[in-house]
Structure 1
Amino acid sequence: MSSTSSFTSFTSLPSSPSSVLAAYGWDGTWADAFAPYAAEGLVAGRVVRVDRGQCDVVTADGTVRADTAFVTPHDPLRVVCTGDWVAVEPEGHTPRYVRAYLPRRTAFVRSTSSGRSEGQILAANVDHAVIAVSLAGELDLARIERFLALAWQSGAQPVVVLTKADLVPDAVTRAHLVQDVETTAPGVPVLAVSAREDGGTSLLERSRELGGGLDVLAAVVSGGTSVLIGVSGAGKSTLANALLGEDVMDVQAAREVDGKGRHTTTTRNLLALPGGGVLIDTPGLRGVGLWDAGSGVGQVFSEIEELAGDCRFHDCAHESEPGCAVLEAVGTGALPERRLESYRKLLRENQRIVAKTDARLRAEIRREWKRKGAMGKAAMEAKRGRLR
């Protein structure tokens, strides 16, 4: 295939509903960004899977295997990722290399579990982050808040999907669980779905019995790119199969001992949905570490940020300051104390992560520690003076 014919087909994609790449999210803006690479004879495609320096890229002529050696920098946030739009060498090159990826619109990033000051990009160019949470066990609201912070920070719109809702047969109890998550996720859709087939009843049918959550989710993900995230055993692969309309992803039952999954998904896979849109299924995440997610944390705890605007001091830490509107709300019961504790914890964690690469912030943190230490020492001395 010549570079000229390749470029012509790509630039006409937005007006060609039958185009392969249009089904994967290609539009006029991507075509404009790709134009300089097309002039070099390179081929446009979207990364659907990455594995050890190799990636599968869907192009107008089908899926090709490409090497990422040319775009594997030392910065782990700049490696080729599932969801990237890339420029690949044309047919005839052996091996075929990815020469560049187009600027990302959004990026879903978490901190690595290695303890080093590194981030790990999980998915690129994502419009919706579908957070799968199993109702088979006790709800971990703090973990949901972590996922939400990462989702908001990425630039994607989060959606919380409560899977295995059929395991909570009592409608009142189920409604209370949904309400708890809605309180934890202000401004975020919360959907309850069944995550298994039982007695010949399909997932879709059971979901409709539970309020039609899957129908709503299918409508949401039909527009743009969605990433499916959650811990192992949350029912992500079953949910992906329901949205795809066929058993594409392997599914295994969670362990009976602790309800945890067995990592049936081991790579991030991008799949076109029959109703439109694409879905990136991801392996279960054991760690949900924040990565420079300050604004994401602020959106998760928007009610606290709003209350903070009424505090007497603009730099109020919401700990013991007089005139603190946040502490007043906790005292009256308007704000659950758990929410404030979780907010403080995530802010501290995010600050530590950012400080690892920001010398000025490290200095500010040290000054704050010294200030609090001096305040504590003064309070202790004053207390001793009163006791004498």
Structure 2
Amino acid sequence: MKENLLEQYGYTENYVKNVLSDLPERQHQLQLQPARIIAQHKNYYQAATAHGEIISHLAGKYLYANDAMGGFPAVGDYVLVKLTEQKDRAVIHELMPRKTMFYRRNNFDKSELQVLAANFDTVFICMALNRDFNLHRLERYVIMARESGADIAIVLTKADLCDDPDSKAVICETVCPGIPIYTVSAQEKKGLEQLLPYFGKGNTVIALGSSGVGKSSLVNALFGEEVMETSEVRESDDRGRHTTVHRQMIVLPGGGLYLDTPGLREIGIADAAESVSEQFADLEVLQTQCKFKDCRHERETGCAVLLALEEGRLTPDRLSKYRKLLKESAFDKVKSRYLYEKWQASKAFSKQLKKQKKGRKEKF
């Protein structure tokens, strides 16, 4: 039996059974069909359906909704749509539960969260082995990736521009223990075979990294053809220009999927205290050894963290990064909670107005 487009984009009946057991009944009642968002533009989406690729628009209820909590569809999302009779257009009615997602603060209102991508299986954290190599940035990316809920792999690109790529990989391993690390060169096509298993049929990969680290070149080299558009890197600073102008999913040779999206460098770490703690597990252990439970690790006697600093088992830089990231996470969490409560209050107020309006009409 020939596979339809929706299945090519990773949709299976097992997904329905796992996350939405009542889908068949709702499909019958409302004539809704499953689809996956494969591209996002300013005023519309492109969706993969069993009938092919279809331009889709949001149902009217979304026009008056508050997207503060990421309620609008994003690339990678599974949705329920109603097709036109000609099956050439669709209206998005419902958003299915997400298994993973990346989000950031809204460009216009920094207190709002905007989902950028959803339902990916693996995050490639890409960092070039030239002037882009930065352990602070790597740790931050790892925290972001952990918060998404997906599996993680660190890909050190442009190994051909580094005299000793293996030593850089060892350094990364000490900072991010337990995460697979690969050194590759798209130019020389070295180490690429290690990454192919991540692109199994129906599996979705998304890359996180600075522009110019070779994310597009990496995907092209992996599959031996230009599936991604690339641009030249400036010689002055090894930085690239964004070639992605809108978020999209790409079906790769062999059936794997790549989610290409701009703006991932701006992802925040709202409510990511657990992921920060996981990344700094050594500090979490030290804190349990302090004499006082409310130890601030500043001047207290019996502080295990200060002792580790004194003995050289912990660097001041690592402690500073830990404090900074925890503080940022806590701040974002407070703002997110405030926003949610504000949204709920607005929703309740809107319902009350509708009731009052309905009551006035009934009087006349």
TM range (shorter): 0.7 to 0.9
Deviations along 1:222-252, whole A, 9 cap, x unmatched? 2732211212112111122234442121101
Q: Which residue of 1 aligns with 2:40?
A: 50
Q: Choose from 74, 80, 83 the match for 1:90.
A: 83
Q: Which residue of 1 aligns with 2:298?
A: 319
Q: How much does 1:98 deviate?
A: 1.0
Question: Within 5 Å, which residues of 2 pair with 1:217-236?
Answer: 217-222=195-200, 224-236=203-215
Is 1:330 the equivalent of 2:309? Answer: yes
Question: Within 5 Å, which residues of 2 pair with 1:211-250?
Answer: 212=191, 214-222=192-200, 224-250=203-229
Q: Which residue of 1 aligns with 2:181?
A: 190
Instruction: Decide which moves more: 107-116 or 219-228.
Output: 107-116
- Matched residues in 2 for 1:341 and 1:113: separation? 28
Q: Which residue of 1 aligns with 2:286?
A: 307
Q: How much does 1:335 deviate?
A: 2.7
Query: Relative to structure 1, is the Cα distance of residues 114 and 328 closer, same or farther in structure 2, using a 3 angstrom cutoff?
Result: farther
Q: How much does 1:328 deviate?
A: 2.4
Q: Which residue of 2 aligns with 1:162?
A: 156
Q: How much does 1:356 deviate?
A: 2.3
- Matched residues in 2 for 1:228 and 1:356: separation? 27
Q: Choose from 51, 56, 59 the match for 1:66.
A: 56
Q: How much does 1:176 deviate?
A: 1.8
Q: Which residue of 1 aligns with 2:95?
A: 101
Letter in 1 for 2:319: L
Three-state SS of the structure 2 residue aligned to 1:131 is strand
Q: How much does 1:78 deviate?
A: 1.2
Query: Relative to structure 1, is the Cα distance of residues 57 and 178 closer, same or farther in structure 2, using a 3 angstrom cutoff?
Result: same
Q: Which residue of 1 aligns with 2:230?
A: 251
1:108/1:126 contact within 8 Å kept: no
* RMSD value, Cα: 2.3
Letter in 2 for 1:182: E
- Matched residues in 2 for 1:112 and 1:145: separation? 23
Is 1:347 the equivalent of 2:360? Answer: no
Deviations along 1:109-159, whole A, 9 cap, x unmatched? 233455621222121112211111112215221111111111111111221
- Matched residues in 2 for 1:245 and 1:64: separation? 29
Deviations along 1:297-350, whole A, 9 cap, x unmatched? 112212222232222223333333332223322332223332221111111111
1:106/1:155 contact within 8 Å kept: yes
Q: Given the two structures, how large is their TM-score scaled by the length of structure 1?
A: 0.77
Q: How much does 1:167 deviate?
A: 0.5
Instruction: Decide which moves more: 298-307 or 282-291.
Output: 282-291
Letter in 2 for 1:194: S
Q: Choose from 35, 47, 56 the match for 2:24.
A: 35
- Matched residues in 1 for 2:217 and 2:101: separation? 25
Q: Which residue of 1 aligns with 2:169?
A: 178
2:154/2:181 contact within 8 Å kept: yes
Paired positions, count = 328
Three-state SS of the structure 1 residue aligned to 2:221 is helix
Q: How much does 1:285 deviate?
A: 4.1
Q: Which residue of 1 aligns with 2:350?
A: none
Instruction: Decide which moves more: 92-101 or 128-137.
Output: 92-101
- Matched residues in 1 for 2:117 and 2:247: separation? 8
1:245/1:274 contact within 8 Å kept: no
Deviations along 1:197-244, whole A, 9 cap, x unmatched? xxxxxx5xx31xxxx3x2222212327322112121121111222344
Q: How much does 1:194 deviate?
A: 0.9
Query: Relative to structure 1, is the Cα distance of residues 311 and 35 closer, same or farther in structure 2, using a 3 angstrom cutoff?
Result: farther
Query: Relative to structure 1, is the Cα distance of residues 270 and 36 closer, same or farther in structure 2, using a 3 angstrom cutoff?
Result: farther
1:231/1:284 contact within 8 Å kept: no
Question: Within 5 Å, which residues of 2 pair with 1:200-211?
Answer: 206-207=189-190
- Matched residues in 2 for 1:302 and 1:160: separation? 19
Q: Which residue of 2 aligns with 1:142?
A: 136
Identity of aligned residues (%): 37
Query: Relative to structure 1, is the Cα distance of residues 315 and 295 closer, same or farther in structure 2, using a 3 angstrom cutoff?
Result: same
Letter in 1 for 2:276: V
- Matched residues in 1 for 2:327 and 2:126: separation? 26
Letter in 2 for 1:81: A
- Give the gaps of 5 or more residues in structure 1: 1-15, 197-202, 360-388
Deviations along 1:233-289, whole A, 9 cap, x unmatched? 121111222344421211011111222111111222212233343221222545343
Query: Relative to structure 1, is the Cα distance of residues 316 and 222 closer, same or farther in structure 2, using a 3 angstrom cutoff?
Result: farther
